[in-house]
Structure 1
Amino acid sequence: MDYGLQALKLVLGLLILTLTLRLLGKQNMAQMTPYDLVYIIVFGGILDSIFYDDKIGIFPFIFSALVWSISIYVIETLVKKFHIFRVFFRGTPDHIIETGKINLKLFDKNNLEFEQLRIVLREKGIFSLREVKDIYLEPDGQFSIIKYSNHKLEPTSSINLEKAEVTPNFLLIDEGEIELSVLKYIGKSEEWLKNEMNILGINDITTVVYCEWSDTNGFYYKTYNDCINQKRKGNIN
């Protein structure tokens, strides 16, 4: 192995990568998209395939790295100047919950699950979907959440709501299917859930796309008819 050649390749690779990042601008590092990850992975592949091959001299290495950098710079310039390129390479936010209505088509598009969304909400200090007015899934995979400004508890069952402490919130129905393991964990039965849903006017569990419950706040649920762009299983349209 020619250690001098490898060292030179490494230094040049670092310089070219630094130059490319400088040309793209510092703000891009805080706004990484799937496309950004792709060109970083591609550059890593270039380094991996060339770096350890002594048969590939320094000039072919420089040529490959420069073509990669110039291509990325041209694409980023087009993205800044033309909306069509911006949408294609950067993507647009998906409005997955709009004024409290769940957009099931966008849930499918992004392979989202309700429990996954609940984890995101809990990380942001939100423990019930009833508090959420709008959610945007940004191109970088982050969630932007707008809460109802004057959220008030609306009783939806006969559960006693005058308790001093807030209790945990549980997902009991997920896309028309009862979460039996959750019911077992909270010490409730399937019959109890069906009876409570009957009280709320729901006679067919498969029409419910989402149902959460807590001992403090009672039930909060959405049927498929409450959703936008119904596309998932259990669609009753």
Structure 2
Amino acid sequence: MDIVLRATLMFFILYVLLRVLGKRELSQMTPFELVTLIVLGDLIQQGVTHNDFSLTGAVLAITTFAFWGLAMSWGSYVSPRLEKLFEGEPRVIIRHGELLRDNLRRDRLTRAEVESEMRLAGIARIAEVDWAILETNGKISFIGRSAGDDSAQRDDDGPV
């Protein structure tokens, strides 16, 4: 039972840690950060199983992590509130060609990072973007402006 309790505690500590890291950090990891995350896995294993190197202890720890992962996934599926809590929400970072600096600051994104993603998407200038949305998986979705966009009616409440 001790392993199950420690695995549960470590699961939620790891969950909070990954949420604090932010969306962009996880999607653009450097090789060093990847190695650090792998080492973190070993440290978690040591903290969960302590000195129990038995197959039973490993199975209990893995099963506990899998259970909580499945429980959170199921909770996200059945409850929009839990989905918002567990998964986060997409955030608009460009609206009608204007960079929303407060939203960038919340996710610790720089203008240079956004411009880099724009170039990868084949977009030359921020003015060409109607909407840019930082998705919950850390990717940025761009919706370009159409040729007659200046005279078109706009939805100022945000994307649907």
Q: Structure with the greater relative contact order (CA < 8 A, sep ≥ 6): 1 or 2?
A: 2
Give the drift of 1:56. Answer: 2.2
Give yes or no for contact 1:97–1:135 (8 Å, CA) kept in 2: yes
Relative to structure 1, is the Cα distance of residues 146 and 59 closer, same or farther in structure 2, using a 3 angstrom cutoff?
Answer: same
Choose between structure 1 and 2: higher helix proportion.
2
The residue aligned with 1:99 is 96
| Letter of the 1:103 counterpart | L
| 1:24-73 CA-partner distances (Å, limit 9, x unpaired) | xxxxxxxxxx6xxxxx96994478539xx885212122111111111111
Distance (Å, rounded) in 2 between the aligned partners of 1:88 and 1:67: 21
1:101: how far off? 2.8
**Alignment coverage as a number of residue pairs:** 114
The match for 2:73 is 76
Which residue number corresponds to residue 115 of structure 1?
Answer: 112
From the CA coordinates, give the structure whose radius of gyration is larger. 1
Q: Is the 8 Å Cα contact of residues 93 and 134 (structure 2) preserved in structure 1?
A: yes
- C-alpha distance in 1 between matches for 2:68 and 2:39: 12
TM-score of the two chains, using structure 1 as the length reference: 0.42
Which letter does structure 2 place at the counterpart of 1:150? A
Query: Which residue of structure 1 lines up, in the alignment, with residue 137 of structure 2?
Result: 140
Distance change (3 Å), C-alpha of 1:43 and 1:67? farther
Amino acid at match of 2:73: E
Task: Give SS of 2:86's match.
Answer: helix
Which residue is equivalent to 1:62? 59
Unpaired segments of 5 or more residues in structure 2? Answer: 1-25, 27-36, 150-160
Give me the whole-angstrom Cα distance separating, in 1, the residues matched to 2:76 and 2:101.
Answer: 29
Match of 1:125 among 107, 118, 122: 122
TM-score (norm 2): 0.60
Q: When you count strand as a share of all residues, which structure comes out higher?
A: 1
Structure 1 runs not aligned, ≥5 long:
1-33, 35-39, 153-237
